Amino acid sequence: MNHLGIVIIGRNEGERLINCLQSLIKEVTPLNHVPIVYVDSGSTDNSIQAAKDLRVNVIELDTSRPFTAARGRNTGFWWLIQQHPDLDYVQFIDGDCILVSGWLSLALKTLEENQQLAIACGRRREKFPDATPYNRLADMEWNTAVGEAMACGGDALMRVKAIKSVNGFNDSLICGEEPEMCFRLRRQGWKILRLDADMTVHDAAMTQFSQWWTRMVRSGWAVAQGVAMYGASPERYMVRQYYSNWFWGLILPLMALGFPWLTSGLSLLLFLGYPVLGWRIYQNRRRKGDLFSHSRLYAITCVFAKFPHIIGQIKYSITRWQGQQATLIEYKNPLSSNDG
């Protein structure tokens, strides 16, 4: 076997976690001796017991440090390496996803054939994309370009040697930890490949506008932190997104509303920039083959997302200025195994 291990992270995933673990067990049972570890970040439901009932190794993170996805993944990764030092590859997967059959064999073959590859990732799909517009948006977000990529998401097969070379994820990040680690990997010459294949099925479970808004605030936070860390680098990491959010989320509306008395109301014409921006985003999605209704939804929400994005950026700046410890920005509601 290819010396494979699996790390799952989760918090209050309930039935979603059970489905995730069952999909993994089904996929690796024929391979034999594939260690699986679930790292739990303070669940208050029955997630921990459910994992133990399925005979999966469980690590419960203590409260000595804030919970982050990066901390969970690192804890699982280094535990696997300590227990199984011969591992060559680790599949990371979030506890709200199920693994697609056949993904592991394809991804393993890909990494074995190209020693420059640090990570192989595939298509993450939403389980219920038509249930809510927010789920549809998530499904579109997961549909990244095939080929060499700048970054991966939380689900991916990774080469142990590569992850060791950058000392894993950055535990201090409450979001955006995957692109940040990929940035460091690419600096060392490693490559990330997005395969044209289904990898996982995700359950966003976003049913409320407030959940989508919180998720967008978190995205803004990730952009601001990325710029603070690497914005001055030659790569200008996330700088374009950062200033775009400032312009559309704060500067333009302040200019439009702040100077109508000086411009005889002409400054209000600046608001026409939003439909122009939306039209450009819409056309881009249509060129990618998205349906009219999906492209329209995506364009409208991308424009509107500039406002929670700038809130996230401002929150990050204030937190950093005050020297406070960042905490998780959660958008999901817990789902117990009894809820189905």
Distance from C-alpha of 7 to C-alpha of 93, rounded to nearest angstrom = 6
Distance from C-alpha of 9 to C-alpha of 36, rounded to nearest angstrom = 11
Between the two ends of the chain, the Cα-to-Cα distance in Å is: 35
Q: What is the pLDDT of residue 32?
A: 65
For 95-118, the three-class secondary structure string (H helix, E strand, C coil) is CCEEECCCHHHHHHHHHHHCCCEE
Coil, helix or strand for 98? strand
pLDDT of residue 1 exceeding 50: no
Within 10 Å of residue 244's Cβ, how many Cβ atoms? 15
Given a contact cutoff of 8 angstroms between Cβ atoms, the answer to whether 258 and 267 are in contact is yes
| CB within 8 Å of 163: residues ≥ 6 apart | 77, 90, 118, 181
Q: Which part of the chain is CATH 3.90.550.10?
A: 4-206
pLDDT greater at residue 336 or residue 117: 117
Given a contact cutoff of 8 angstroms between Cβ atoms, the answer to whether 192 and 185 are in contact is yes
Run of H or E residues at 317: helix 306-322
Segment 298-327 mean pLDDT: 93
pLDDT band at 31 (very low <50, low <70, confident <90, very high): low
pLDDT of residue 339 exceeding 50: no
pLDDT of residue 223 exceeding 60: yes
pLDDT of residue 274 exceeding 80: yes
Segment 151-171 mean pLDDT: 96
pLDDT band at 66 (very low <50, low <70, confident <90, very high): confident
pLDDT of residue 162 exceeding 80: yes
Q: What is the pLDDT of residue 65?
A: 83
Nearest to 181 by CA among 249, 118, 114: 118
Which tokens is 107 given? 């991804």
Q: What is the pLDDT of residue 174?
A: 87
pLDDT, averaged across the chain: 92
As a whole-number percent, the residues of the chain with pLDDT over 90 amount to: 79
pLDDT band at 2 (very low <50, low <70, confident <90, very high): low
Rg (CA), the chain: 21
Given a contact cutoff of 8 angstroms between Cβ atoms, the answer to whether 282 and 296 are in contact is yes
pLDDT band at 325 (very low <50, low <70, confident <90, very high): confident
CA trace torsion 313, 318, 321, 324 (10° rounding): -110
pLDDT of residue 82 exceeding 50: yes
Q: What is the pLDDT of residue 30?
A: 61
Given a contact cutoff of 8 angstroms between Cβ atoms, the answer to whether 98 and 10 are in contact is no
Instruction: Provide the whole-model pTM.
Output: 0.90
Strands (E), 236-303: none
pLDDT band at 334 (very low <50, low <70, confident <90, very high): low
Q: Give per-residue pLDDT as tens, 135-145.
A: 999 999 999 99
Between 17-31, 109-123, 188-202, 224-238, the lowest mean confidence (pLDDT) is in 17-31
Distance from C-alpha of 22 to C-alpha of 33, rounded to nearest angstrom = 16
| CB within 8 Å of 235: residues ≥ 6 apart | 183
- Any idea which architecture 4-206 has in CATH? Alpha-Beta Complex (3.90)
Nearest to 13 by CA among 95, 92, 69, 72: 95
